Structure 1
Amino acid sequence: MQRQVRKRLTIKMLVWRLALVGAVLLSGSAAQAGGSFTLTAVDESTGEPVPTRVVFTRADGRPQIVRRTVPSGVGFVLDGEQLVALPNGAFQFQVIRGPEYRVITGNFSIDRDASDAHSVTLPRMVDMAAEGWWSGDPAVTTPLRLLPLLMQSEDLHFAGRVGEDPQTQIRLDRPLPTAAADAPWGPIEIRQDLAADQHGLLLVGTPESFTAADSAVSSDTIRAAVRQDVNAVVVENPFAWDVPIWLASGRIKAMFLMGDWLRLDRKITAVSGSRPPSEVGFRDAHGPGRWAEHVYWQMLNSGLQIAPLGGSGSQLKNHPVGYCRTYVHAAQDNRSPDPQPIGQQAWWDAALTGQSVITNGPLLRPTLGGEYPGHVFRAYSGEALEMSVELNLSTRDPVEYLEVVHNGNVFYSARLDEFAEAGGVIPPLRIEHSGWVIVRVVTLFEDHWRAAVSAPWYIHFDDRPRISKQAVQFFRDWLSEREAMLAKLPADQRAAHAPYVIAARNFWQQQAAAANAP
C-alpha cells in the first residue's frame, strides 16, 4: 500500500547585491578636527525611521569607532537618527538590519568642520513574521538595558539572556526606548531564566531558587537541572568532550547547530578545549560549522530527537545579537494569510521542539508534505510515503547549493541556476523506513560556514526511530576517547565521573543492540 503526500518544490529566489549609495562629500572650512552629520535610516515600506546597525570603516579597511553611540559588537546602533562625529578622511559604510533587509553600502569623505544631514532608505527583502516565522536568539549576554535596542536594530523578536547585568559605561544622547509588544517593528520579548555552566550546557527555565552545580563534573549540571525542575537542558557546545555522556542522560532537548564559532569579527578554524574533528575535511574556515552539522547528523542517526538552535551563546560578547538565529513557526496548523504575533512561551516551545529553521544568512521557509519542520510522519511496515518539499528562499549571498538530506545522505543537490533550468521540479522522496529529512542552503561566503538549515522532519514506521550502527559507533568511539582522558585523573576525581561514564557506556551499548540500520 502506498500513501502519497505530494507537493511541488518551488523556490522564490531573491538575490540582492549590495547597493552602492552615491558618494557624499561633506565639506566646510577651518579646523582639522573633522566634522559631524546627522544620519537617518528609514524603512522603505513605512517611510518611518527604524533602528539599524551601521559599520564605518576607513579607506584601508580598518574599523572606525564612532563616539557617543551604542556599540553593537561590529559597528554601532543607529536608533533611527544619530548625530555622527568623525575625523577628517575617507570612509566606507554599511547599513544592516538583520537578514531580512537589503544591506546598503556606500562611501563618503569628511572635510573640515563638515555638517550636514543624510537619510538612507532600507528596503526589506522579505517579512518573515508576515509569513508566520518569528526570529529569536536563544542565548545572549548583552546588558539588559541595551538589549531591547540591539534587538530592534537587528529585527530580532525573542531572546534569552544569560548572566548578570554588568555595569556599562556608555554616554547616550537620550534615554533608551522601552521595548513594547505593539512596537511598529514587532514584539520584543526577553527571557531571563537561563543559566550556563562552564562545560557547554545551557539551562532554560530555571526556577528562582535554582542553585547551579559548581562542579568539575559536567553531568552534575544535568542532575541539578533534573532535581530542580528546569524546563530544558541544551547542548551549547556540540564539540565538548562530554557530549556522548550528556546524550546518554536522556535529558538533552536541543543543540546549538550555529553558535559562537560563527562570528563576524574574526575567523575561527578550531574550538579550543573541545574534541577536534575525527575525520578529514573539517580544518578550514568552514570546518567548525560543518563539523557541528556532522555531529548533529550523528545524533539524529542514533535515534535521538533533538532540536537544532542558532544563537550567540553564553560566551560570545561584543558581537551583533541574532547573527546566528532561530526562526520558528509556532502554529503548524495555521494557514492564515495574516499570522498574528506569538507569545514568548509559544516561541520557546516551538524552538525547543524543532518547529524551526536555523540561519546566519539565507532565509528559508520550507514544508515537507505540507508540514513544517518538527512534524513526525507515522506509517506501518509495508507502506510507503511519497513526499516532496515546498519552500521559499531569500538570500543576499550567492548560494553554493540547495540540498534535501535524508538520513544523512544527500537525496537532491543543485545550484540554484540548475534548479531553475530544471523547471523547479525535484523528484519526491519515497520513504519506506524510519528516518529524518532536512533541507539546507549553503552559501559561497568565504569567512565561515553561512547557511540555512531546517530542523528535521521525522518519519517513524511502527513507532520506531531509525538507529544507525555507524552513528552509534561514532559516539562510542567519542566516549572511549573521553574515558581514556578521565583515566589519567586522580582516583577521587575519576570516581566522581564514574557513575555517568558507566551509564553512558550502557546507553550506547543498548543503542547498538537496538540498531535497525547500517
Structure 2
Amino acid sequence: MIQQGWRTFLVKVHNQAGVTAPLTAESPNAAPIYQRSRNSPEPESTVPESEIIHRFLEIAVYNKPPLKENLSGLELEYRILQLYSRDAGKREAILAFNVGQGTQDIGFRNQVPILFHCAPAVEVELKILDFDGTPTIAALTIRDGFGRIYPSPGRRLAPDFFFHDQIYRYHDESVFLPPGSYTVEYSRGPEYRIMSKTVTIPEAKLYSESFKLDRWIHVAAEGWRSGDHHIHAAGCSHYESPTQGVLPQDMMRHILGEDINVGCVLSWGPCWYYQKQFFEGKVNDLSTDDYVMRYDVEVSGFPSSHAGHLSLLRLAEDDYVADAEGQVVDRIEEWPSWDLPVLQWAKKQGAVTGFSHSGWGLQVSGNELPNYNMPPFNGIGANEYIVDVVHGVVDFISTVDTPSVWELSIWYHTLNCGFRTRISGETDFPCIYGERVGLGRVYVKMPVGALDYDVWVDGLRDGRSYVGDGRSHLLDFVVEGTHVGEKGPSGVISQLNLDEPGKVTVNARVAALLDEIPNPLLRDRPLSQKPYWHIERARIGDSRKVPVELVVNGQPIDRQEIVADGTIVPVQFNLSIERSSWICLRILPSSHTNPVFVIVDEQAVRASRRSAAWCVEAVEVCWKQKVDKIRENERDAARRAYDMAKEAYQQIEEVSAVE
C-alpha cells in the first residue's frame, strides 16, 4: 500500500455455493474516526482518541463496468479490492468478506489479518502566493484522474474537515500525495477566481508546487471589510467525537482561507458546555490587524429557539442573568422560553443583536417583494422579530442563507412602518451551508488602519454595510451626500432631511462577476432552492449583464444594467421624493444595501398602510404558533409584549396615508 493513496488488489472468490449477492469487504481498521454531531449539548465520546491510530484504512470493492455489482454465481471468479492508507510504515489490517446476512461472522473464518507495508507518500511543499506575490493561504481541492479527493475525506480530522472536498494550506505547508497526476482547483473566497492546475508528482521524498491566486476585486482595499457573523465550531456537520467540535485555530484557518476579515464563531446548543470555554468577551488572540475572530453565542437549542434563533454579537457575558439580583443560570434549559427577555439581556451589556436564518418559518408563495401573503410563522427564523422590533431590541435580521423573498419581505414591511432594523449576511456554517464559511457575507465600511472589531460590529448595527454572496458589490451608496450607515447633515445615521418634497441623486460604485457562459440549471432554479443567493440568478437572459435596482419603500422604481466582468463602474439615479421614504440598491438575489432614510418635513416613514395591516395580522399569527411553547409563568409578559406590538402597528396603519 501507499500512504495517502489507493492501491488495487485482486481477490479470488471461491463461490462453491453459487451465490449471486454482492461481495462486501469490511475491516475494523476502516471504522469511522469520528461521530457526526447528534446535537447534544453534552455528548458522550463514542470514538476514543486511542482508537484513531488503528483506524487508518479505507476500503472499497470496485463494482463498476465492466464488472457487475453482484457475483456471477460461477464457482471461481475475481473481484477488485481498493485500499487506502492514511499512514506510512508497516500496518496490520484485518480484512473480512461476506455475501450478506448470515455470512458476516462464521467463527472468524471470514476474516484474515494482513501485514501491509505502506510506502511513504511524497511530501508536497506548497508555495501559496497572493495576487501581489505575498505568501498567503488558499483552499485547494485535489483530485486524481478517477475524481477521487485527496487527502481522503473519510480519514480527515481537524483542521481538515471530513465534509469538505477542499483543504486549507498556508504558504510553505505541505500535503502528502502518492506519485502521479492530479488536478488542483485553488482559490480563496468569492473575491478570487477559481483557478485550476494539473500537477505531476514524481517519485521523490520532497517536491514543491507553487500556486498564484487571482483576485478579481479587492473590496478591503476599497475600505469595506467582509464578515460572516454566523459560523459554528460544533454541531450539524461537525463531529462530536473524538472531540466536541473543533478548536479556535481550526476555525481561524478556514476564516483566513476564505478571506473573511471578521469571523464570528457562535457557540450554541450542540457541545455547548465544552465550546463555551472559548468565549472570552473579546477578540481571539489568533486575530491579526486584517483578520479578526471572536466567539459569541447563537441562542439555538435553547428554550426560546422555537420563537426564532438569535445571533448575539459582542457579548460581555455568555451566561444568562435570570433576575435583577444577577442570578446567572447554569443550564440551557433554565433560559427564557421566548426571545424578548434574551434580547433585552444582551442589549443591556452592549451586544449587537439579530435573528438568524431569517426565512425559516416565513415561507410564502410567489416571488414578489414585499410579499403580502401571510407566512405561517412556524419556524426558527425571524419569527418573533415582528414583535421584538417594536421593543427596540433588534439591530439586524440575517440574510443570504435562506430564500431571499422569505428573508426580505418581513424586513420591507417593517421598514415601511418606520422601523430601522438593518440586515447582515451569514452562512450558518456548517448547518445550512457546509461547503465553506463565508458563503453569506456582510461588508462594512471601515476607516483605514488595523481592523477594530468594535468599529466593525457598530457598522453592522448602524447599517454601514451591504450584504451578499461576494460575487457582486454595492460600494459607497450615497443619497444626496448622505452615506449609508453614516451621519449626514441631519446628524442622524443614514438619514437625509428634506424640508419639503424634492429631487435627490443616488450614487454608488458597483461591480459583479459572472461566468461568460450562462448556467441555466442554477439560474432557473426556484428561489426556494439552494443556493438561495447567487449572482447567476441575476443574469439578464444569456448576456453577461445584471440589473442594479433602485428600491424605494420596497418597490423597484428604476434600474441600470452593468456588465458583470468584475469591473467597478459608477451608477447614478435621479428621483423625486414626495414623502418620507427609505431607499436601497440591490442586485437580487446577490447583493443588497442597507437603507438610507429620507425624512420629508420631519414626518416618520409611513410608506404603506397595507404593510402595517400585514404586520398587525402577523403578530397574531406568530402568537398562535408560539404560545404553547412559552412557559406558563412567562405567558402573561409575552402576551403584553405582543399586544404592545400589535397596537403599535395598528396606530401606524391608521396614520399611513398611502395604501
Instruction: Give the whole-Å Cα distance in 2 for the aligned partners of 1:370 and 1:61.
Output: 54
Percent identity, aligned pairs only, is 18
**Partner deviation per Cα, 1:336-375 (whole Å, 9 max, x = no partner):** xxx3334121111111100001121223313223443225
User: Relative to 1, partners in 2 of residues 1:384 and 1:188: Cα closer, same or farther, differing over 3 Å?
Assistant: same
Q: Does 1:295 align with 2:410?
A: yes
Match of 1:81 in 2: 172
Instruction: Give the whole-Å Cα distance in 1 for the aligned partners of 2:502 and 2:292.
Output: 43
- The amino acid of 1:405's aligned partner reads V
Match of 2:294 in 1: 191
User: Relative to 1, partners in 2 of residues 1:309 and 1:59: Cα closer, same or farther, differing over 3 Å?
Assistant: farther
**Contact 2:429/2:437 (8 A) holds in 1:** no
Match of 1:323 in 2: 439
- Aligned partner of 1:40 among 117, 123, 127: 127
Higher mean C-alpha displacement, 242-251 vs 366-375: 366-375
- 1:109, CA displacement in angstroms? 6.5
Match of 1:25 in 2: none
Q: Give the secondary structure class of the aligned counterpart of 2:173.
A: strand
User: Relative to 1, partners in 2 of residues 1:115 and 1:412: Cα closer, same or farther, differing over 3 Å?
Assistant: farther
User: Relative to 1, partners in 2 of residues 1:31 and 1:234: Cα closer, same or farther, differing over 3 Å?
Assistant: closer
Match of 1:304 in 2: 419
Match of 2:391 in 1: 249
- The amino acid of 1:254's aligned partner reads F
Structure 1: tracts of 5 or more residues without a match: 1-29, 168-176, 262-287, 332-338, 443-448
Instruction: Give the whole-Å Cα distance in 1 for the aligned partners of 2:126 and 2:564.
Output: 42
User: Relative to 1, partners in 2 of residues 1:107 and 1:302: Cα closer, same or farther, differing over 3 Å?
Assistant: farther
- Aligned partner of 1:476 among 612, 616, 622: 616
Question: Could you tell me the TM-score, scaled by structure 1's length?
Answer: 0.72
Q: Which has the higher contact order (CA 8 A, sep 6+)?
A: 1
User: Relative to 1, partners in 2 of residues 1:345 and 1:503: Cα closer, same or farther, differing over 3 Å?
Assistant: same
- Aligned partner of 2:228 among 117, 127, 137: 137
Match of 2:341 in 1: 220
Match of 1:94 in 2: 185
Q: Give the secondary structure class of the aligned counterpart of 2:411.
A: helix
**Partner deviation per Cα, 1:236-295 (whole Å, 9 max, x = no partner):** 232333231222322111111223x4xxxxxxxxxxxxxxxxxxxxxxxxxx13321223
Match of 2:598 in 1: 459
Instruction: Give the whole-Å Cα distance in 1 for the aligned partners of 2:220 and 2:171.
Output: 21
Match of 1:51 in 2: 137
**Contact 1:412/1:426 (8 A) holds in 2:** no
Instruction: Give the whole-Å Cα distance in 1 for the aligned partners of 2:630 and 2:294.
Output: 40
Q: Give the secondary structure class of the aligned counterpart of 1:146.
A: helix
User: Relative to 1, partners in 2 of residues 1:473 and 1:57: Cα closer, same or farther, differing over 3 Å?
Assistant: farther
- Aligned partner of 2:288 among 178, 181, 186: 181
- Aligned partner of 2:354 among 216, 221, 234: 234
- Counterparts of 1:21-420 in structure 2, within 5 Å, are 37-45=124-132, 47-57=133-143, 63-66=149-152, 70-71=159-160, 74=164, 75-86=166-177, 91-108=182-199, 116-142=207-233, 143-163=247-267, 179=286, 181-182=288-289, 187-197=290-300, 198=302, 199=305, 200-208=309-317, 210-211=319-320, 214-226=335-347, 228-239=348-359, 240=381, 241-259=383-401, 261=402, 288-313=403-428, 316=431, 318-331=434-447, 339-361=448-470, 362-368=472-478, 369-375=480-486, 376-395=494-513, 397=515, 400=539, 401=546, 402-417=548-563
Q: Give the secondary structure class of the aligned counterpart of 1:71.
A: coil
Aligned length: 431
- The amino acid of 1:42's aligned partner reads L
- 1:161, CA displacement in angstroms? 2.6
- 1:299, CA displacement in angstroms? 2.3
- 1:441, CA displacement in angstroms? 2.1
Q: Give the secondary structure class of the aligned counterpart of 1:428.
A: strand
**Contact 2:337/2:629 (8 A) holds in 1:** no
Instruction: Give the whole-Å Cα distance in 2 for the aligned partners of 1:68 and 1:492.
Output: 45
Instruction: Give the whole-Å Cα distance in 1 for the aligned partners of 2:456 and 2:124.
Output: 40
Instruction: Give the whole-Å Cα distance in 1 for the aligned partners of 2:571 and 2:586.
Output: 17
- 1:460, CA displacement in angstroms? 1.2
- 1:137, CA displacement in angstroms? 1.9
**Contact 2:514/2:564 (8 A) holds in 1:** no
- The amino acid of 2:404's aligned partner reads G
Instruction: Give the whole-Å Cα distance in 1 for the aligned partners of 2:571 and 2:248.
Output: 47
**Partner deviation per Cα, 1:402-441 (whole Å, 9 max, x = no partner):** 2221211112234425999xx9775412223211111122
**Contact 2:158/2:250 (8 A) holds in 1:** no
Q: Give the secondary structure class of the aligned counterpart of 1:388.
A: strand
User: Relative to 1, partners in 2 of residues 1:297 and 1:94: Cα closer, same or farther, differing over 3 Å?
Assistant: farther
Q: Give the secondary structure class of the aligned counterpart of 2:414.
A: helix
**Contact 1:57/1:93 (8 A) holds in 2:** yes
**Partner deviation per Cα, 1:285-330 (whole Å, 9 max, x = no partner):** xxx1332122322222221111111123487485523221211113
**Contact 2:344/2:393 (8 A) holds in 1:** no
Instruction: Give the whole-Å Cα distance in 2 for the aligned partners of 1:57 and 1:513.
Output: 63
**Partner deviation per Cα, 1:373-403 (whole Å, 9 max, x = no partner):** 2253433453413213231314255552222
Instruction: Give the whole-Å Cα distance in 2 for the aligned partners of 1:129 and 1:419.
Output: 19
**Partner deviation per Cα, 1:35-86 (whole Å, 9 max, x = no partner):** 55333221131x2321111223566766554557722663211112332234
Higher mean C-alpha displacement, 381-390 vs 303-312: 381-390
Instruction: Give the whole-Å Cα distance in 1 for the aligned partners of 2:476 and 2:630.
Output: 51
Aligned-residue CA RMSD (Å) = 3.6
Instruction: Give the whole-Å Cα distance in 2 for the aligned partners of 1:426 and 1:131.
Output: 19
- The amino acid of 2:136's aligned partner reads V
Q: Give the secondary structure class of the aligned counterpart of 2:174.
A: strand
User: Relative to 1, partners in 2 of residues 1:127 and 1:502: Cα closer, same or farther, differing over 3 Å?
Assistant: same
Match of 1:485 in 2: 625
Structure 2: tracts of 5 or more residues without a match: 1-116, 234-246, 276-283, 322-333, 360-380, 487-493, 516-535, 540-545
**Contact 1:257/1:296 (8 A) holds in 2:** no
User: Relative to 1, partners in 2 of residues 1:506 and 1:91: Cα closer, same or farther, differing over 3 Å?
Assistant: farther
Higher mean C-alpha displacement, 102-111 vs 139-148: 102-111
Q: Does 1:508 align with 2:633?
A: no
